[in-house]
Structure 1
């Protein structure tokens, strides 16, 4: 009798050292200002980005709209997050992602170009998790962003987190 084991693709990619998770800092926005978190695949990365999990945690009591964008130009200067890690910590040296997790907060303006693929209303004091099974595939030079639309006269705080894997082109 032959033993066959089925495992999720994310577990396989983690085992291979290709799966990463990370989050933004606590993002402050609202009162006419916006924020965003993105996975940015640099032009010279030589990897395809497979977006697997998207998480938005609303720390605030008020709801806000999260817009999911493909290959957009985001307003404001982005900061690279240092809250990124491979999920397989048994590999030495630890794998380093080519994709960068970036964020910006308290910004004016909205994304331009690209595609606003879908939106999610994020209720107060709630975490929304979207599991996409790697079906969003971003080439070098592209990005996948979660844009947090601020509301007037309301202070908001949130975190954006991602799980993804990378595959050589």
Structure 2
């Protein structure tokens, strides 16, 4: 018997065997991790206010996990929108202590709007403009250059960055020189019990 006919014989035999036992193969749906967490009401998205910098002063936007949140943040995506005619340099910091404390953004939403009322994240998005000094402590993870009048999108991290309570993921913008520039940062993440 050749290889092909052997396979056909085994498939037919297995199909007949399942019918005789009254069993059917189980249907399995495979969802991407972020879609699964959105279905559960654990996926969120949000953005900062406009972040202004220049003249030797910096700015930043971050995803901040409060110490009392009792959740871990799993970062899935971020975007940086550069509204200026100057390129921007953004440093990514994990758990850095950022200058100026930051203003909390009201621009947050649950990914699953079919849940009533929509879930609210425990996480905060914060930003600050025209700050002096740089982040202290934490880990300087990587740098991104953002060309003028562009939105840079980085997604499908699939939770590679896990941010525990009392920690953060921030994008710190270096002053481009004397001219003022404007940017905005957005994030997509899910939350699970710590």
Query: Does structure 1 retain, via aligned residues, the 8 Å contact 2:81–2:152?
Result: yes
| 1:45 pairs with one of 48, 61, 69 | 69
Give the drift of 1:3: 2.8
Considering Cα pairs closer than 8 Å and 6+ residues apart, tell me whether 1 or 2 has the greater RCO.
Answer: 1
Does structure 1 residue 162 correspond to structure 2 residue 169? no
| 2:39 pairs with one of 1, 6, 15 | 15
Q: How many residue pairs align between the two structures?
A: 169
Q: Which runs of 5+ in 2 are unaligned?
A: 1-24
Higher share of residues assigned helix:
2
The SS at the match of 1:14 is helix
| 1:79 pairs with one of 95, 103, 106 | 103
> Residue 145 of structure 1 corresponds to which residue in structure 2?
170
Residues 47-102 of structure 1, C-alpha deviation per residue, up to 9 Å, x if partnerless?
00101101101010110101000000000131110001111111112111111111
Matches within 5 A, 1:1-150: 1-131=25-155, 132-150=157-175
Give the drift of 1:4: 2.4
Q: State the alpha-carbon separation in 1 of the partners of residues 178 and 38 from structure 2.
A: 43
Report the structure number with the largest CA radius of gyration.
Answer: 2
Q: Which runs of 5+ in 1 are unaligned?
A: none
TM-score when scaled to structure 2?
0.85
TM-score when scaled to structure 1?
0.97
Q: State the alpha-carbon separation in 2 of the partners of residues 32 and 81 from structure 1.
A: 24
